[in-house]
Amino acid sequence: MKTLTDLSDEVLKQPTNKEKLRFLKQQLCEINRQLPAQVYIPFVNKSMRNYAVLNIVAEEAVVFKTKERAPLLLSFEVYRPTEITIDENVELKSQQEFQ
């Protein structure tokens, strides 16, 4: 989280909106290269910790023109292994009901 909040501060220092977006995308690509396995974003809800961040989607990043509250909008690709297990169990039960 500190890396992302520091990044937002650095983005705001860039002189033009075009340069802000270019800088943001470059930095997100670098963060993605160094992204550790099993990292999660610490939301309030503990169940969200079951979502591992795979990638920060640099192409979808947005820099807002206002400095109020949130200067950036970021999209994350996440993975939740328990969803696969849940889906498999539901599918298995459904198949068993039809037999």
pLDDT of 83? 62
Considering 16-30, 48-62, 73-87, the range whose residues carry the highest mean pLDDT is: 16-30
Nearest to 61 by CA among 48, 77, 80: 77
Is 61 in contact with 28 (CB distance < 8 Å)?
Answer: yes
Indicate the CATH number for domain 2-97. Answer: 3.30.1010.10
- Give dist(CA 35, CA 39) in Å, integer: 8
In the chain, % of residues over pLDDT 90? 39
Residue indicated by tokens 């990043």: 61
pTM exceeds 0.75: no
Tokens of 26: 């470059």
pLDDT of 89? 53
Task: Count Cβ atoms within 10 A of the Cβ of residue 67 and give its class: 0-12 exposed, 13-18 middle, 19 or more buried.
Answer: exposed
